[in-house]
Amino acid sequence: MIETARSVAHPWLCDVMGHLSTPHYLAVFDIATYHLFAAANASPAKTVKTGLGWADVRHEIDYKSEVKAGSLLRVQSEVIRIGGKSVTHRHELLDVDDCVLKATLLATTVAFDLEARAAITIPDLQRAGFAALIEAAA
């Protein structure tokens, strides 16, 4: 897995019980996804210029341990599978201070033609980048 994000559970991101509010988990995981895709030569900031976008089609979050206000967080990520049009990736949210696993995200993202507004086959350049991440983790 590679490190893809760091964050802080600021008090204003927490609910009335003092722990990280649900939408903010996804925000941290979204940032991590951008960095993971950049490591695979599939940075949305670059691919959008060519008409290639990325659309999340599935998220499965498991909350493992409470994230309290003030917690320092990091995300490590990996590519699990490359399909014809989709890539499946996994992210772990950990506490920086004690390395306790706080949450995981299993996500599926499809290559998306921005003009046709439809899923497309993952281009060879990005497929090779995702494959290289899988190989490096093996």
Q: How confident is the prediction along the chain (138 residues), in pLDDT tens digits per residue? A: 999 999 999 999 999 999 999 999 999 999 999 999 999 999 999 999 999 999 999 999 999 999 999 999 999 999 999 999 999 999 999 999 999 999 999 999 999 999 999 999 999 999 999 999 999 987
Backbone φ, ψ for residue 125 (5° rounding):
-60, -45
Model pTM greater than 0.85? yes
Domain residue extents for the chain: 2-137
DSSP 8-state code for residue 19: B
Q: Which two tokens stand for residue 69?
A: 């206000």
Query: What is the distance between the alpha carbons of residues 130 and 23, in angstroms, rounded to a whole number?
Result: 27
- Domain 2-137 in CATH: superfamily? Hotdog Thioesterase (3.10.129.10)
How far apart (Å, rounded) are the C-alpha atoms in residues 80 and 137?
A: 10
